[in-house]
Structure 1
């Protein structure tokens, strides 16, 4: 089989979205919505055969929480500390592609980067059985919702929502791709102290990227010097990644790395929406370890 290129795979997926409306884009599998252009029931059935390795580097986030940033940093950690480059020929997400993908992944050298937006309960059981390390990235829910909406409405081929109001209600009801942000957050909070899990936030990476890269290196066992960590952080600044985004992600790159700002939600949320999300956060996460880590009062108060 001809080698698949990562950018080519992204462009092929985008091509499939042309002319679709939202009802055609999203399909339900076991009660959660997914984009039909990159996921399928056959894919999820095949995923049950996925065999994790103890040295897999598992990267998890809800959509629009910064997973492409994590992929870049962890790829750079591999390249810097082992002088090899991770093979980057597949769509980076475990649940995206074709059902033969898992056979191809068996041939990839270790360490493999395994990225996903899947809910904890939908991850392959072998990840936990084989004790692979799982790095999870969360972002404050208001910026996550705003970024998710902008992505739908800025990428020309992807179906748009009629309005922010429509999207907001779907987001709050968990009726968007990959399901409910709050369901994912509540479940990961239950595993925040698990030995093989590290949860970071988008906001803490924005505040101190060097410290974030250092935590990732230590968590995954990369022997990186202070100079190497600083250089990786410099290459992973939002500005640097945006500059290279066309090269790394093709035409969609500049749209994936759009602004990377904290507080962008303020341009979209009205008073009612603020109150609704504040109440939802309080109900789901106030007083929890993840809730504290997300610093809701700092980043999400109008």
Structure 2
């Protein structure tokens, strides 16, 4: 559920129905959101308080406004570094908050049930009214009131090798981000932390050091792969819900990777397809003005929810990259107690 502000500033409720995503995205309300100018040919990055962001999709004005965001103790923030399992855990959180009502969940896309607070994409939504929100912001950029009011934070992390690979493919498939020239170039950027949302290790450790706070739950992607039911039960208890075993089982089935990938209300591919179409139209329009005929390269479509596996990094890291990364992880996480299953 989301809220779209009209020109008169009245709040109009937006709720996706159970049509196919491409039909839902044909609605005037979604078209308004997709008409944002972030889907343009040239991607410009900017730096805000030491962290890199794409200028059109995460604006300085939005980040600045978040500094005075008014949080509530009952709010639940789903937080993670990018491609750590955010969409997965946010659907778990949303399913629990909705009492495991799967019919209700499948009438509204997860991106609108748990909106992305720093994204310009949601600038037209009354995100402040939502009890569930998501963010990739590092701790020093999350609204200070979240910590002051002790809002609940569900933080999901993932072994950084797999996260790096997933982030690489996300940059390729996402038209609002710069496309890496090569895997090696992206690896170097990720390794150095010169990438959107900054150094992954600083992001991890900020929230890891809060893990003993009663309002913070630290979850690992690998634990979700190993025993999703146990994680659903942990999150449910953390959020203060008592749910029957049958409902828990239904949530587990609904939130399995296979189920979420084929569900248009949990897989954001439809949103990105629209973004690609918008960008293609702009490119063709510009080429037509210049009298140029474009020949589009053929490439395999990459899904937002690609594999959802542990250990896919082995298909990408060279021996030298793996050795360097292992030493780097040891250096950055030494003494923290934070470790990963690779």
TM-score range, shorter chain: 0.7 to 0.9
| Residue pair 1:56, 1:132 contacting (<8 A) in 2 also | yes
Equivalence for 2:41: 19
Give the direction of change, closer, same or farther, for the CA distance of 1:247–1:188 in structure 2 (3 Å limit).
Answer: closer
Provide the aligned C-alpha RMSD in A.
Answer: 2.9
Give the direction of change, closer, same or farther, for the CA distance of 1:94–1:157 in structure 2 (3 Å limit).
Answer: closer
Equivalence for 2:219: 200
Equivalence for 1:279: 327
**Residue deviations 1:69-93, cap 9 Å, x none?**
1121111112226897689648821
Equivalence for 1:143: 162
Is 1:28 aligned to 2:51, yes or no? no
Structure 1 counterpart SS, 2:187: helix
Give the direction of change, closer, same or farther, for the CA distance of 1:91–1:234 in structure 2 (3 Å limit).
Answer: closer
Which whole-Å CA distance do the structure 2 matches of 1:98 and 1:18 have between them?
A: 13
Structure 1 counterpart SS, 2:188: helix
Task: Choose from 231, 252, 257 the match for 2:272.
Answer: 252
Q: TM-score if structure 2 supplies the norm length?
A: 0.76
Which whole-Å CA distance do the structure 2 matches of 1:289 and 1:180 have between them?
A: 18
Q: Which has the larger radius of gyration?
A: 2
Moved more, 57-66 or 191-200: 191-200
Higher-helix-fraction structure:
1
Is 1:185 aligned to 2:204, yes or no? yes
Structure 1 counterpart SS, 2:153: strand
Q: TM-score if structure 1 supplies the norm length?
A: 0.85
Give the direction of change, closer, same or farther, for the CA distance of 1:9–1:206 in structure 2 (3 Å limit).
Answer: farther
| Residue pair 2:211, 2:218 contacting (<8 A) in 1 also | yes
Equivalence for 2:314: 266
> What residue ranges of structure 1 are gaps of 5+ in the alignment?
none
Task: Choose from 118, 131, 147 the match for 1:95.
Answer: 118
| Residue pair 2:260, 2:266 contacting (<8 A) in 1 also | no
Give the direction of change, closer, same or farther, for the CA distance of 1:192–1:219 in structure 2 (3 Å limit).
Answer: same
The offset of 1:13, in angstroms, is 8.0
Moved more, 232-241 or 221-230: 221-230
